[in-house]
Amino acid sequence: MTAATGLRVADLTVTYPGPRTSGFRRQSSITAVRGVSLDVAPEETVALVGESGSGKSTIARAIVGLVAPSGGAVEFDGAPLSNRRDRLARRNIAMIFQDPRSALNPRMSAEASIVEAWRAHPEAAPEGVRRDPRRRREAVVDLLAQVGLDPDVAGKRPTALSGGQCQRVSIARALALRPRLLICDEAVSALDVSVQAQVLQLLVRVREARSLSMLFITHDLGVVRQVADRVAVMRRGELVENADAQTLFSAPRHDYTKELLAAAVDLDVSG
């Protein structure tokens, strides 16, 4: 057992091949992330902000192994996540996406989606769920309750659920494997404001109840303000500032961070 040091991203570079211009030729490759180093300590919530194309989602994809880094290293609690076979280490990390409807299999009930996660990672499944259907249903209902959903949601498919409910099912599915780090990639951006507040509150509660770390990717500085302990600012593939949230909001140092904060449209009730 290695020490709980959390997530460590060191000097990460991700390069995508350029678009194909003909059957044999490609344009020069595009470096989406260039030499980024970023840590998420145990129980810490780090927000990764930046505009579209800044590379923030690519970092998340590299952490969970959806894209292969062309340089640098990613490790969790000291164990490298260098190849797709590091299943055990990867189980510690779960990811929630922006569009909960397309993240869930439309033909699977909420229960089936959760059970599928246990089938892929039997070592993380609660005791007895593989053989005993009643025990399985209990475990699913228990998970759903933790994300504020009624037991009857277990039998429903995504089409029968609202966007907020789908996102809660995604969260339940992510929690099913008892992760240590939750990556939320624009996880509340597509939700209605009133539902967004509920899901943010849920994420904060789950984080506290389970002592989770979070990497919260968003373009919305208002959302960042609600959840983050620390904020990392990306611009054109590079990390330009990484500071304690309080400090970043009150005294940003980098010009680009200042520009982002100045442009952030906040509720204006003056006058």
Partner 1 sequence: MPERARQGSAGTLRVRDLTIALPGPRGMADVVDGVSFDMVEGRTTGLIGESGSGKSLTAMALVGLIPDTGVATGQVLLGEENLLTAGRARIRQIRGAEISVVFQDPSTALNPTMTIGDQVGEILRSRGLSRRQARERAADLLDHVGIPDAAGRVGAYPHEFSGGMRQRAMIALALAGRPRFVLADEPTTALDVTVQARILDLLGRLRDEDNLSMLLVSHDLRVMSHVADDLVVMYAGRVCERGPAKAVLNRPLHPYTDALVRSVPSVRVRSAIADPLPGSPANPFDRPAGCPFHPRCPRAEDRCRTEVPELREIAPGRVSACHFAELAQRTPDTVAEELR
225 near partner 1, rule: CB under 8 A: yes
Q: Residue 250: CB partners within 8 Å, gap ≥ 6?
A: none
What is the spatial distance between Cα 88 and Cα 185, in angstroms, rounded to a whole number?
22
Q: Within 228-257, which residues bind partner 1 (CB under 8 A)?
A: 249
261 near partner 1, rule: CB under 8 A: yes
- List of E strands, the chain: 7-16, 30-40, 45-49, 71-76, 79-80, 93-96, 181-185, 213-218, 230-235, 238-244
Q: Stretches 86-94, 99-107, 169-177, 220-228: which one binds partner 1 (CB under 8 A)?
A: 220-228
139 near partner 1, rule: CB under 8 A: no
From edge to edge, which strands make up the β-sheet containing 93-96? 93-96, 181-185, 213-218, 45-49, 230-235, 238-244
159 near partner 1, rule: CB under 8 A: no
What is the spatial distance between Cα 234 and Cα 239, in angstroms, rounded to a whole number?
5
Selected from 13, 37, 70, 198, the binder of partner 1 by CB under 8 A is 198
Q: Which helix (H) or strand (E) holds 141?
A: helix 133-146
Q: Within 107-136, which residues bind partner 1 (CB under 8 A)?
A: none
19 near partner 1, rule: CB under 8 A: no
Selected from 137, 219, 236, 254, the binder of partner 1 by CB under 8 A is 219
Q: Stretches 7-15, 72-80, 111-119, 199-207: which one binds partner 1 (CB under 8 A)?
A: 199-207
Binding site for partner 1 (CB under 8 A): 51-52, 162-165, 192-198, 200-201, 204, 219-223, 225-227, 249, 259-261, 263-271
